[in-house]
A and B are shown apart, each in its own frame.
Chain A
Amino acid sequence: MSSELARLSIATAAKLVRSGEVSPTELLNASLQEIARNNSTLRAFISVTEETARKAATAAELLLSAGYDLGPLHGIPLGIKDNVGIQGQRTTAGSKVLGNWHPDKDATVIAKLKQAGSVFVGKTNMHEFAWGGTSANPHYGHVRNPWDTSKFPAGSSGGSGAAVAAGLCFGALGTDTGGSIRLPSAINGVVGLRPTYGRVSNSGIIPLAWSMDTAGPMTRTVEDCALMFNAIAGPDPTDPATSPVPVDDYLSRLSSGVRGLRIGVVPRYFFSHLQADVKRAVEQALQTFEGLGAQLVEVDIKHIEGNISAQLTIESAEPSAYHQKSLRERPGDYGDDVRTLLEVGELLLATHYLQAQRYRSVLRAEFIEAFKEVDVFVCPTLPFTATALGATTVVIENGVEEDMLSAIMQFTGVPSLTGLPSLNVPCGFDSSGLPVGMQIIGAPFSESKLFSVGHAFQSATDFHTKSPNLGSN
């Protein structure tokens, strides 16, 4: 029963809490039981904050009994990526460098989730300082994929992805610079949103690359993702990059369907270099959309090539600026891979960085122009399914080994560079039973549309209802 409870959607759990059939403490107990059962294998959480979670669950019950209903996240247990500061709780960013740091205030997203009544069960494991796509962590253990624990969970929000997929929490917060929400969402078979750049505050979150960083929800359903996004979206005076554009009610158009929707596809780039099982699953998803009344429109983005180099240049130069002091004073405290990337970022030319930032203007303008012809783009989230734990290379086609970092960001980097919102939705499985995800990319501030497209797909398919069976690993 406890395991079933832990796997409920947030929307269903919220209804049960509201009707009095289940209490926040019972939901928390269900999550803590799954953590006790599986976290030593998955290494999804760096810290489990049972004591403060129990206090929060009790407070949620008292508020409800006194007639104060804070909304659908009231009493819902969530995991928080460990680069997001929670007042008084140890925050490591998956590194030894921060030592025993306890932030003296909440990140804005945490303050908003607290206002919504959420209960935080712990801080999730991640790639060190979010600078990598595998969540292979030399300090807190490599996060494992619950669908096959010999495989990686992708990253950098790998702990959040594994925890949500395995039922260790009902939803989680991740951060996404070059793909770090969408990649582990795809690889673990959950939903994850990279919001429009500036839609969610980064205040109180340890930065990776300021000009691309975002924070967003990771959940088991699109509806849950919209629920969480409702709580965290909006301007913040303490983050000057947040936008004053008014927020939507992100649930309001959830059931509006895809009839008449124009879906852009870019075959030349997104469907030309990927594993056959991934291609098949995403093409079948496109057929599903067509069956629901959407129209597929082939689009060419003339200057899409070059995006990987632009990402790597920006995503290495900006972190190297942030870490400049620590890299000189305590380089041995970084893991080898992240240390190497930070050192590389110190040595690129300023002109390389600026040309990459100019390239972003070109790529963004091409996508904005394309949105005159299409409503959303659909493509694979990444070109392969889960690969071996600790691997630094990956085979996509013809037995050729490719560098993991460049390969994994092939498709997620496009929204990252352009600042466009992108939603990962599970859309199938490969021949080994490992999840495949697709990205739905929209125009700036079109998150409501992405949710309605994703929800239409989940209403027509059952991929999101499948769960990993950890007992069989």
Chain B
Amino acid sequence: MPNSSVEQLVRTTAEHSNLPLEDGRVAAVSQVLEVWLKDANALSAKMSAPEFAQVSPITGFLQTVVHGEVSHEQ
């Protein structure tokens, strides 16, 4: 049985995200989200440790030179 505060979170966030969720859906989503949030919070706490302060997300990208816009001369 999902925590009622999670159900409230689901209901409110869905409403403000224009995501239509009837009551039956709120219960189904809350049941999964409650477990996942707990694990995601634990991972966030882990990644907030000082040893990871310089770590960037893996989805950074490598910029490439657009021909003609940047001089290739040193």
Residues of chain A touching chain B, judged by Cβ–Cβ distance below 8 Å, are 211, 303, 306, 308-310, 312-313, 316, 327-328, 331, 336, 339-341, 343-344, 346-349, 351-352, 354-362, 364, 403, 419
Tell me the smallest distance from the CB of A164 to a CB of chain B, in Å.
Answer: 32
Q: Closest 6 interchain pairs by CB?
A: A357-B57, A309-B39, A360-B58, A352-B40, A355-B44, A355-B47
Q: Tell me if B5 is interfacial: C-beta within 8 Å of chain A.
A: no
User: Which residues of chain B are within 8 angstroms of A343 by Cβ–Cβ distance?
Assistant: 14, 19, 21, 25, 28-29
A340 touches B28 (CB 8 A): yes
- For chain B, the bracket of interface size reads 20 to 34
User: Which residues of chain B are within 8 angstroms of A331 by Cβ–Cβ distance?
Assistant: 20
Q: Tell me if B17 is interfacial: C-beta within 8 Å of chain A.
A: yes
B58 touches A340 (CB 8 A): no
* A352 contact from B17, B35, B44, B58, Cβ within 8 A: B44
**Closest residue of chain B to A316, judged by CB?**
B36
B18 touches A313 (CB 8 A): no
Tell me the smallest distance from the CB of B38 to a CB of chain A, in Å.
Answer: 9
A344 touches B47 (CB 8 A): no
Q: In chain B between 54 and 70, which residues have their CB closer than 8 angstroms to a CB of chain A?
A: 55-59
Q: Tell me if B1 is interfacial: C-beta within 8 Å of chain A.
A: no
Say yes or no: A344-B29 contact (C-beta < 8 A), given A309-B42, A328-B19: yes
Report the bound CA distance from A419 to B59 in whole Å. Answer: 11
B40 touches A313 (CB 8 A): yes
B42 touches A306 (CB 8 A): yes
Say yes or no: A328-B18 contact (C-beta < 8 A), given A344-B33, A358-B56, A364-B58: yes
Report the bound CA distance from A130 to B52 in whole Å. Answer: 32
B32 touches A344 (CB 8 A): yes
A347 touches B10 (CB 8 A): yes
**Which of A327, A340, A343, A349 gathers most chain B CB within 10 Å?**
A343
Report the bound CA distance from A447 to B41 in whole Å. Answer: 35
**Closest residue of chain B to A337, judged by CB?**
B28
Tell me the smallest distance from the CB of B1 to a CB of chain A, in Å.
Answer: 16
A-B contact pairs, 14 of them (CB 8 A): A306-B43, A309-B39, A310-B43, A328-B18, A340-B25, A344-B29, A347-B10, A347-B29, A348-B33, A352-B40, A352-B41, A355-B40, A355-B44, A358-B57
A347 touches B44 (CB 8 A): no
Say yes or no: A361-B33 contact (C-beta < 8 A), given A309-B42, A343-B19: no
Say yes or no: A362-B36 contact (C-beta < 8 A), given A309-B43, A343-B29, A352-B44: no
User: Which residues of chain B are within 8 angstroms of A308 by Cβ–Cβ distance?
Assistant: 39
Report the bound CA distance from A312 to B42 in whole Å. Answer: 13
B40 touches A328 (CB 8 A): no
User: Which residues of chain B are within 8 angstroms of A357 by Cβ–Cβ distance?
Assistant: 57-59
Given A308-B39, A355-B44, 9 more pairs with CB closer than 8 A: A348-B36, A348-B40, A352-B44, A354-B57, A355-B43, A357-B59, A358-B52, A359-B43, A361-B56
Report the bound CA distance from A267 to B56 in whole Å. Answer: 29
User: Which residues of chain A are within 8 angstroms of B29 by Cβ–Cβ distance?
Assistant: 340, 343-344, 347
Report the bound CA distance from A393 to B35 in whole Å. Answer: 15
Report the bound CA distance from A58 to B35 in whole Å. Answer: 55
Q: Tell me if B13 is interfacial: C-beta within 8 Å of chain A.
A: yes
Tell me the smallest distance from the CB of B46 to a CB of chain A, in Å.
Answer: 6
User: Which residues of chain A are within 8 angstroms of B59 by Cβ–Cβ distance?
Assistant: 211, 357
Report the bound CA distance from A470 to B9 in whole Å. Answer: 49
